[in-house]
Amino acid sequence: MESLIKDNTFISSLDWRKKGSLIPVYNKNIFTIDTGGNHENCIVILHGYLSSSYDYYKVLPELSKHYRVIVQDLIGFGFSDKPEKKYFTIIDQTDYVLELWKILGLNNVTIISHGYGNLLTTEILARQNHLATNIEIKKIFFCNGDAPVNHYNYLDIHNTFKDVDSEKMISMLTSFGVYKKIMKDYFYDETKITDEELTEMWVQLENDNGRDIINFIYHYVRERKIFWNRWTTALKETENSIELIWGKEDKITHDWLESSKEEKTTNYEICLIEKSGHFPMLEKPQEWLQCVLKK
């Protein structure tokens, strides 16, 4: 297959910033890139924790040849506003996502999400099941991330929760050196992420004192416990078609693949990407695109 990615795609944060605009949603500005507007079918992308829309810089040009693509920085990340308080819940984050989509006039979307973004997608599914949102979903692609824990009494298993990984993520915020080291570790082939790229990502984390405000991972781990049943039920009951796009060699998250087999949640299609870690859209952009674009 002909290459979908040009060799020289690198883009600086500043140039990335120019691709999008700040859209006011409730009392916050959300950095949004809205491209490929000539297409009727729409893909919306929800990035992961400690990331930003920038994760998709390699795949966006090709994707927007086929879809209207909307990538946004979630509240607290990238060029979007920061929450005033440290506790910015997934419920709040989802409110802002849905309101942005409403402002953009979207009502039938394909969602691609990754890591933390998967939880937002799952919350959207819960609201759909509870008839609390009008959004229509064509298809969902979940990329690498943890599955909602399916356990009746979540508090009994708090120890098995991966607090080590939470701590690792928090430590990423301490300095660029630590950040770089851990990020590289999330890749299967660490040469697939350059220092140049990591610097741009770090700049975005730093933006507007972001580092001080987004260490809310413990909080979101707790929310996952609170909503375990809401979210596993949402995944079980949804009639939307779901596909997993998975970097096979992910060192931090893997349990979704296992639990989806165990639970037989739904008949997920799985598009497995060999020799890719936690960020398949950055490490194996070509393969990632094939997963999304194949008909």
Which residues contact another protein (rule: CB under 8 A)? 26, 85, 87-89, 91-92, 95, 99, 129-132, 152-153, 155-156, 158, 219, 222-223, 226-230
Measure Cα distances from 25 to 93, 115, 172, 220 in Å. Answer: 11, 23, 29, 22
Judged by beta carbon, residue 156 or residue 196, the one nearer another protein is 156
What would the two tokens of residue 252 be? 């931090």
CB of 226 to another protein, least distance (A): 5
CB of 28 to another protein, least distance (A): 12
Judged by beta carbon, residue 141 or residue 228, the one nearer another protein is 228
Distance CA 243, CA 84 (A): 35
Judged by beta carbon, residue 3 or residue 27, the one nearer another protein is 27
- Amino acid residing at 20: G
Judged by beta carbon, residue 103 or residue 178, the one nearer another protein is 103
The residues near 225 (Cβ < 8 Å, ≥ 6 apart) are 149, 154, 155, 158, 161
CB of 92 to another protein, least distance (A): 6
8-state DSSP, 238: -
Distance CA 50, CA 55 (A): 10
Question: 3-class SS at 108?
Answer: strand
CB of 142 to another protein, least distance (A): 20
- Closest C-alpha to 12, from 160, 148, 200: 200
- Across the strands, what pairs with 14? none
Distance CA 33, CA 17 (A): 9
CB of 90 to another protein, least distance (A): 10
Judged by beta carbon, residue 31 or residue 88, the one nearer another protein is 88
Judged by beta carbon, residue 66 or residue 230, the one nearer another protein is 230
38 CB-side CA count, 13 A: 4
Judged by beta carbon, residue 65 or residue 222, the one nearer another protein is 222
13 CB-side CA count, 13 A: 19
With vertex at residue 209, the alpha carbon angle to CA 205 and CA 214, rounded to the nearest 5 degrees, is 60
Judged by beta carbon, residue 139 or residue 222, the one nearer another protein is 222
CB of 225 to another protein, least distance (A): 9
CB of 88 to another protein, least distance (A): 8
With vertex at residue 116, the alpha carbon angle to CA 30 and CA 202, rounded to the nearest 5 degrees, is 65
CB of 80 to another protein, least distance (A): 17
- Across the strands, what pairs with 34? 70
